[in-house]
């Protein structure tokens, strides 16, 4: 006697469709590289002002005022302070305004990140600190200039994201 078995399995086409759908859903679940790329560009650009911060500190210690602009601080003109992702860095009343352009990621292009000095109220001899972006001014301290930051907080370092003062 002969028995017929009716075996039913998946065809190759059906398997390929299922594997393709799983692959597409997996790709959708992966986080975007966009924030990582933009964050790295911001971090690299912050290094551009490190040497100039010392000059601002020295100027303040000598005059008890912050330099009004790049010329007064004896640093290059804004259009000459450039980097891979920065098309100018403007110093205004002690604060650095980093303007992103050039090869900057579209998420930060034409945006600004401000880095400001902060000093202890009534004690100009005390050490100077720096804050950036949306970081709150610490209690008992005063910040120079105004914050012109327009970069989305998700693209700046965590220390620059503090949106409210700590109480």
Res 16 pLDDT > 80 = yes
Measured CA to CA, the distance from residue 112 to residue 110 in angstroms comes to: 7
Query: Per DSSP, what are the bridge partners of residue 129?
Result: 118
**pTM listed for this prediction:** 0.79
Q: In this predicted structure, what is the pLDDT of residue 127?
A: 92
Q: In this predicted structure, what is the pLDDT of residue 1?
A: 54
Measured CA to CA, the distance from residue 85 to residue 99 in angstroms comes to: 9
Distances (CA, A) of 48 to 39, 82, 133: 15, 8, 16
Measured CA to CA, the distance from residue 150 to residue 156 in angstroms comes to: 10
pLDDT per residue over 77-112, tens digit each? 999 999 999 999 999 999 999 999 989 999 999 999
Where do the domains of the chain lie, and which CATH numbers do they carry?
A: 49-160 (3.30.700.10)
pLDDT: which is higher, 14 or 45: 45
The average pLDDT across 132-143 equals: 94
pLDDT > 90 fraction of the chain, expressed in percent and rounded? 72
């Amino acid at each position: 006697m002969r028995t017929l078995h009716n075996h039913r399995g998946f065809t190759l086409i059906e398997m390929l469709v299922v594997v393709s759908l799983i692959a597409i859903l997996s790709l959708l679940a992966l986080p975007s590289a966009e924030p990582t790329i933009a964050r790295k560009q911001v971090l690299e650009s912050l290094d551009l002002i490190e040497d100039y911060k010392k000059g601002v500190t020295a100027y303040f210690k000598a005059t008890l005022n912050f330099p009004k602009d790049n010329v007064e601080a004896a640093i290059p003109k804004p259009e000459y302070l450039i980097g891979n992702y920065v098309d100018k860095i403007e110093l205004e009343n002690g604060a650095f305004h980093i303007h992103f352009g050039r090869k900057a990621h579209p998420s930060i292009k034409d945006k600004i990140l401000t880095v400001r000095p902060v000093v202890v109220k009534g004690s100009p001899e005390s050490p100077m600190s720096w804050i950036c972006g949306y970081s709150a001014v610490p209690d008992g301290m005063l910040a120079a200039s105004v914050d012109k930051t327009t970069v989305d907080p998700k693209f700046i370092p965590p220390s620059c994201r503090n949106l409210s003062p700590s109480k």
